[in-house]
């Protein structure tokens, strides 16, 4: 459609001879003779419409980004907040921890959120996105202490809090500066961001807490919890990581049966009469908990064997199913009797430490428990309710624990043995234990005591999975402390029901969150930290009564609202006591103290849904989208849901609603080898280095923010993903190709002034190539809209890259260059191409804008250069208008696919000719398409190529293409030719067409370089007409 070249044999026209004789062209001011017309081709360059644009192929990202940063980030957010007329879209920001420089996880997270927000701005929504920070907790407190060069015990809490706040505020400024370099559309002012240390935020959080107290969900209990000696604080399950390589000292020990009391089972009683001693064989990986033993559990359904073993004098009781597995421990053995587990219940035994002088132990009993199995150990389980949740629950179920004094615990808040251990091991042995860390020297000392009493049968080191404190990286213990808990049993069904209305991306992530919620019965919300939001409980010291009620909180929150939450720590107790409390309890204000526990930081961040307005105008959820890493199924995703449902649980008239409508999960960023990034491995990739470059720019180029964003949009973020030099180089190359496509279009569609008088070509006048490109653009537009709406950004970018690289660069740009450069400016063929290119650029810019905002702004600015009213606006100010369905043209797609099959054959033949040095440029060739003789039926493909005959030379990028049949070939011979055949598509017969490539029969035109000039003419017909009109 684009080349308007006349037929091979053409009549001689007088005006053409007149033009040839004058040999003068005012457009280029040169004179040529017929003989040298084909040589001096550069003389016509000024008559060509070569691309012109200020849009560079390569750009200095620092300079380019500085031009558009404010326009497309802060100003754009404010503009859309004031001007967008569409529905509200809320993305609730999961707050990053205000500690340290940003890493690739931060970059991925914030860029993905920004892509979503920018897409919604483009589609006309009013976006509400307030970035936030999580500011309390141990890491910030530790960093403050490091800077003070002090430990927590040597400083007043007020000094630590002041320093921690200053540290958090400094870290937030650093992170904000780095976030802004990712080209994040946000208003970073205090009114449109949130920090969990802000007064208003802390009051909202306490109000959420109060509503949960009113529902009876908050209680205090002395029970075993995950406790971090390195943090000096209780931890929730979400704050644990598991180390598969942890090494423990496991021991097999014997608890002697009490021969002085009545043994319930007759068989065992008869055996004990004959044997000098009898013991229960027990295995544990935590020997330090043996001082807190309160019972030994058996499974009532198991069978237990009484054996005489070579490793131990007397007889041993073990589970029958474990005998073979225990032979390496007990040696050879002889089974004396078998007893049902039920018959062992109630039998008494002595502590393993009872032989130590000064031990004050009393006989204990065997209990029944369902958590005992025959899969490991000896089938008898040492129970220390202070140090095991299953032990604790078993004892509670049996009514053996009535109060906190019923639990034996010898571990202090530093994770060390306390002086109370002397009650079990005696004063002398206690000197070996007191002050020792139970996980280190204390455990070894216990093993030594076991050896001295003869209770140790075997000790071995085992490598196993063990929980660690996720903040300090140190192992934790399970120990009994008094903590505040949220009862989840009464709200988790509501929480799970609320999730039924939530969409999950990827869908399997639903199972992960639901399983975590289902498995929890309570949430330990108290922490023994200085830096945090207080749990405002009052304690009456004489009666050891904790007061935490709706009434007490109403008064306390009124005081804190007026004077600041810090007043809880600094104000006198009198400020928080109500007349009712003073009247109810004796002793006056002096009998009271304020609680020092702080809230779990997950409660802090999990309350951020309360910063959003209650949904109106048909909205059901406060937030449309929350997006975080997969680790947040155990953290923020849960704590948001649980606090929101818990705070609303008293309203029985309404169904529980999740705070979020859609939950999106991304994986972790790994290095190029798929390894986790760490300082020790030296494989950390910094987002700041990607943007600004490293010390060695050859190894670490400055790619700019758009390349970083392109990486985030092309990886399958819902899985773990890799980044490194190779991946980034590929992204930079993809970026260059997209940029080059935009540059080609900008260079060919003209300036604002030139486009003012441009007359677009109507749909029905467009050629097949243009209709095909518009069909591909329609499909791209549909794919992009669907991809963005379903958060499948790789789908969008892959489609865009394919369109830019294959449809445009490799095909359409290539076949239309001749038309764009050499045709008359007003020719229908050229206007058809320009019409198509303009539409392509408009849609491509919209598609690329959410991912590559700097590139989109630069395209927009260049396109509207000279029209300040438009160019000064952001590209996002123009709503994304979908490509009209009128361009959905499956027939054009099918026709083009058929012709492209033929093109592949032609290109293969041209490549052979080029390989044999018969031609350098495809324009030196002509193509003959030879149809078979005597066709009774003309298949659609033959009708297609006849209809598009004038387009074929354009598609093949040759000087001419002719359709003939076998009978019309004649006997002409050529200097060279190459022939191949092609099956006619979509036919049931074996009909083929032959395709011949041969030298062009005409001469080279010095202006357009096609071989369409007759020897006696200076130029080809097309170029003569164009140049003639230019005179």
Strands (E), 444-524: 456-469, 477-487, 503-505, 522-524
| Bond into 506 cis (ω within 30) | yes
- How far apart CA 527 and CA 558 sit, in angstroms, is 24
Q: What are phi and psi of 666, to 5 degrees?
A: -115, 160
- How far apart CA 327 and CA 1012 sit, in angstroms, is 96
Strand 381-383 and strand 295-298: the pairing is antiparallel
* 333 strand-pairing partners: 309
Weakly modelled stretches of the chain, pLDDT under 70: 1-41, 238, 650-653, 1031
- How far apart CA 532 and CA 513 sit, in angstroms, is 27
- How far apart CA 785 and CA 789 sit, in angstroms, is 6
State the pLDDT at residue 940: 92
- How far apart CA 188 and CA 74 sit, in angstroms, is 7
Contact 421, 410 (CB under 8 A): yes
Contact 557, 533 (CB under 8 A): no
Contact 892, 771 (CB under 8 A): yes
Nearest to 229 by CA among 476, 598, 478: 476
Contact 83, 154 (CB under 8 A): no
Region label for 362, one of left (φ > 0), alpha (ψ between -120 and 50) or beta (otherwise):
beta
The DSSP code for 782 is H
How many CB atoms are closer than 10 A to CB 207?
A: 16
Contact 629, 105 (CB under 8 A): yes
Q: Quick check: helix, strand or coil at residue 165?
A: helix
C-alpha distances out from residue 691 to 63, 173, 704, Å: 12, 19, 4
Nearest to 565 by CA among 196, 953, 231: 196
State the pLDDT at residue 26: 28
Q: Quick check: helix, strand or coil at residue 134?
A: strand
- How far apart CA 243 and CA 383 sit, in angstroms, is 24
Q: Quick check: helix, strand or coil at residue 445?
A: helix
Instruction: Give the pair of three-digit tokens for residue 839.
Output: 């539409």
- How far apart CA 448 and CA 81 sit, in angstroms, is 70
State the alpha helices, DSSP H only, in 231-297.
266-274
Contact 164, 530 (CB under 8 A): yes
Q: Within 13 Å, how many C-alpha atoms sit on residue 453's CB side?
A: 24
Contact 830, 1025 (CB under 8 A): no
User: Computed over its alpha carbons, how large is the radius of gyration of the chain?
Assistant: 41
Q: Quick check: helix, strand or coil at residue 194?
A: strand
Contact 285, 321 (CB under 8 A): no
Instruction: Give the pair of three-digit tokens for residue 762.
Output: 């109507």
- How far apart CA 1027 and CA 824 sit, in angstroms, is 9
Question: What is the full DSSP assignment across 305-316?
Answer: EEEEETTSSSEE
pTM for the whole structure: 0.85
- How far apart CA 250 and CA 245 sit, in angstroms, is 15
pLDDT digits (tens, 9 = 90+) for 790-834: 999 999 999 999 999 999 999 999 999 999 999 999 999 999 999
State the pLDDT at residue 880: 96
C-alpha distances out from residue 721 to 145, 670, 686, 842, Å: 36, 6, 15, 32
Q: Quick check: helix, strand or coil at residue 350?
A: coil
Q: What are phi and psi of 411, to 5 degrees?
A: -115, 130
Nearest to 290 by CA among 419, 160, 417, 117: 417
Contact 367, 398 (CB under 8 A): yes
Nearest to 425 by CA among 398, 455, 402, 405: 455
Q: Quick check: helix, strand or coil at residue 433?
A: helix
State the pLDDT at residue 264: 80
- First vs last C-alpha separation in the chain: 26
State the pLDDT at residue 28: 32
- How far apart CA 377 and CA 282 sit, in angstroms, is 7
Strand 333-340 and strand 233-235: the pairing is unpaired
- How far apart CA 885 and CA 868 sit, in angstroms, is 32
Instruction: Give the pair of three-digit tokens for residue 1003.
Output: 């001469």
Name the maximum alpha-carbon separation found in the chain.
137
Nearest to 910 by CA among 987, 995, 844, 837: 995
Instruction: Give the pair of three-digit tokens for residue 783.
Output: 């794919």
Region label for 1009, one of left (φ > 0), alpha (ψ between -120 and 50) or beta (otherwise):
left
Q: Quick check: helix, strand or coil at residue 264?
A: coil
Contact 97, 896 (CB under 8 A): no
3-state secondary structure 931-944: ECCCCCCCCHHHHH
Q: Quick check: helix, strand or coil at residue 840?
A: helix
Instruction: Give the pair of three-digit tokens for residue 304.
Output: 């237990």
Nearest to 793 by CA among 707, 720, 718: 718
Strand 381-383 and strand 348-349: the pairing is unpaired
The DSSP code for 152 is G
By the 10 Å C-beta count (0-12 exposed, 13-18 middle, 19+ buried), 350 is classed as buried
pLDDT digits (tens, 9 = 90+) for 317-369: 999 999 999 999 999 999 999 999 999 999 999 999 999 988 888 899 999 99
Contact 784, 796 (CB under 8 A): yes
State the alpha helices, DSSP H only, in 790-809.
793-802
């Amino acid at each position: 459609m684009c080349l308007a070249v006349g037929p091979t044999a053409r009549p001689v026209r007088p005006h053409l001879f007149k033009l040839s004789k004058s040999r003068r062209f005012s457009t280029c001011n040169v004179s040529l003779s017929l003989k040298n017309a084909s040589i001096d081709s550069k003389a016509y360059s000024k008559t060509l419409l070569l691309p012109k644009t200020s849009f560079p192929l390569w750009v200095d990202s620092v300079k380019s980004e500085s031009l558009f940063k404010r326009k497309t980030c802060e100003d754009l957010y404010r503009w859309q907040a004031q001007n967008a007329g569409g529905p509200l879209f809320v993305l609730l920001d999961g707050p990053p921890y205000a500690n340290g420089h940003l890493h690739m996880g931060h970059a991925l997270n914030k860029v993905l959120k920004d892509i979503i927000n920018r897409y919604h701005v483009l589609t006309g929504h009013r976006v509400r996105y307030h970035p936030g920070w999580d500011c309390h907790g141990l890491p910030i407190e530790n960093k403050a202490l490091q800077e003070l060069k002090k430990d927590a015990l040597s400083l007043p809490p007020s000094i630590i809090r002041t320093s921690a706040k200053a540290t958090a505020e400094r870290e937030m400024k650093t992170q904000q500066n780095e976030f802004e370099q990712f080209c994040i559309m946000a208003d970073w002012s205090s009114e449109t961001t949130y920090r969990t240390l802000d007064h208003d935020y802390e009051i909202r959080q306490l109000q959420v807490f109060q509503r949960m107290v009113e529902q009876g969900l908050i209680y205090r209990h002395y029970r075993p919890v995950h406790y971090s000696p390195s943090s000096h604080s209780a931890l929730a399950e979400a704050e644990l990581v598991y180390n598969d390589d942890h090494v423990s000292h496991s021991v097999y020990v014997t608890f002697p049966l009490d021969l002085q009391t009545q043994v319930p089972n007759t068989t065992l009683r008869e055996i004990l009469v004959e044997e000098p001693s009898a013991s229960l064989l027990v295995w544990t990986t935590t020997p330090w908990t043996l001082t807190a033993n309160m019972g030994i559990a058996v499974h009532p359904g198991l069978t237990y064997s009484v054996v005489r073993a070579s490793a131990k004098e007397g007889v041993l009781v073990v589970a029958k199913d474990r005998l073979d597995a225990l032979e390496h421990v007990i040696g050879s053995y002889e089974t004396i009797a078998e007893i049902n587990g039920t018959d062992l219940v109630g039998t008494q035994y002595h502590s393993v430490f009872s032989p130590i002088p000064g031990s004050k132990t009393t006989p204990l009993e065997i209990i029944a428990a369902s958590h005992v199995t025959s899969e490991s150990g000896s089938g008898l389980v040492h129970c220390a309710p202070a140090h095991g949740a299953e032990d604790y629950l078993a004892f509670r179920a049996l009514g053996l624990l009535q109060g906190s004094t019923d639990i034996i615990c010898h571990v202090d808040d530093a994770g060390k043995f306390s002086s109370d251990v002397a009650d079990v091991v005696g004063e002398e042995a206690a000197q070996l234990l007191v002050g020792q860390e139970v996980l280190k020297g204390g455990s070894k000392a216990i093993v030594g005591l076991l050896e001295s009493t003869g209770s140790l049968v075997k000790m071995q080191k085992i490598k196993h999975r063990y929980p660690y404190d996720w903040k300090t990286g140190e192992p934790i213990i399970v120990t009994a402390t008094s903590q505040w808990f949220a009862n989840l049993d009464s709200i988790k069904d509501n929480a799970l029901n609320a999730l039924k209305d939530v969409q999950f991306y990827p869908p399997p992530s639903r199972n992960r969150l639901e399983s975590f919620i289902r498995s929890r019965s309570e949430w330990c919300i108290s922490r023994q930290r200085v830096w945090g939001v207080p749990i405002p409980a009052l304690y009456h010291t004489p009666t050891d009564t904790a007061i935490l009620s709706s009434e007490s909180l109403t008064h306390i929150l009124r005081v804190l609202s007026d004077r600041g939450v810090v007043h809880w720590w600094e104000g006198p107790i009198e400020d928080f006591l109500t007349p009712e409390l003073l009247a109810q309890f004796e002793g006056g204000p002096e009998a009271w103290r304020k609680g020092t526990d702080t809230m779990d930081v997950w409660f802090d961040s999990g309350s951020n849904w309360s910063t959003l307005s209650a949904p109106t105008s048909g909205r059901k959820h406060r937030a449309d989208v929350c997006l975080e890493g997969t680790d947040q199924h155990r953290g923020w995703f849960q704590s948001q849901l649980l606090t929101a449902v818990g705070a609303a649980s008293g309203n029985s008239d309404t169904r529980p609603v999740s705070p979020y409508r859609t939950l999106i999960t991304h994986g972790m960023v790994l290095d190029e080898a798929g390894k986790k990034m760490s300082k020790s491995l030296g494989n950390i990739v910094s987002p700041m280095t990607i943007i600004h470059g490293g010390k060695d720019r050859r190894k670490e180029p400055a790619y700019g923010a758009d390349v970083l964003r392109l990486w985030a949009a092309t990886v399958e973020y819902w899985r773990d993903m890799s980044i490194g030099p190779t991946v980034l180089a590929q992204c930079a190359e993809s970026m260059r190709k997209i940029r080059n496509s935009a540059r080609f279009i900008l260079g060919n569609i003209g300036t604002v002034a030139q486009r003012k008088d441009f007359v677009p070509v109507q749909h029905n006048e467009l050629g097949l190539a243009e209709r095909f490109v518009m069909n591909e653009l329609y499909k791209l537009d549909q794919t992009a809209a669907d991809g963005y709406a379903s958060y499948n950004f790789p789908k969008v970018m892959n489609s865009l890259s394919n369109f830019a690289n294959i449809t445009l660069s490799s095909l359409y740009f290539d076949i239309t260059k001749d038309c764009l450069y050499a045709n008359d400016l007003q020719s229908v063929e050229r206007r058809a191409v320009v019409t198509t290119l303009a539409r392509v650029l408009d849609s491509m810019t919209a598609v690329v804008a959410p991912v590559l905002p700097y590139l989109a702004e630069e395209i927009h600015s260049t396109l509207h250069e000279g029209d300040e009213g438009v160019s000064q606006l952001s590209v996002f100010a123009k709503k994304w208008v979908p490509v009209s369905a009128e361009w959905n043209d499956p027939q054009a797609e099918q026709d083009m696919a058929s012709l492209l099959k033929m093109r592949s054959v032609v290109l293969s033949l041209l490549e052979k000719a080029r390989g044999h040095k018969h031609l350098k440029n495809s324009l030196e060739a002509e193509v003959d398409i030879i149809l078979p003789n005597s066709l009774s039926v003309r298949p659609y493909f033959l009708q297609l190529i006849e209809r598009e005959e004038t387009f074929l030379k354009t598609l093949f990028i040759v000087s001419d293409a002719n359709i003939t049949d076998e009978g019309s070939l004649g006997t002409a011979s050529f200097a060279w030719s190459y022939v191949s055949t092609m099956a006619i598509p979509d036919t049931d017969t074996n009909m083929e067409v032959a395709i011949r490539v041969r030298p062009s029969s005409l001469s080279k035109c010095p202006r357009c370089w096609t071989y369409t000039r007759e020897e006696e003419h200076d130029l080809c017909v097309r170029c003569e007409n164009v140049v003639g009109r230019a005179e």
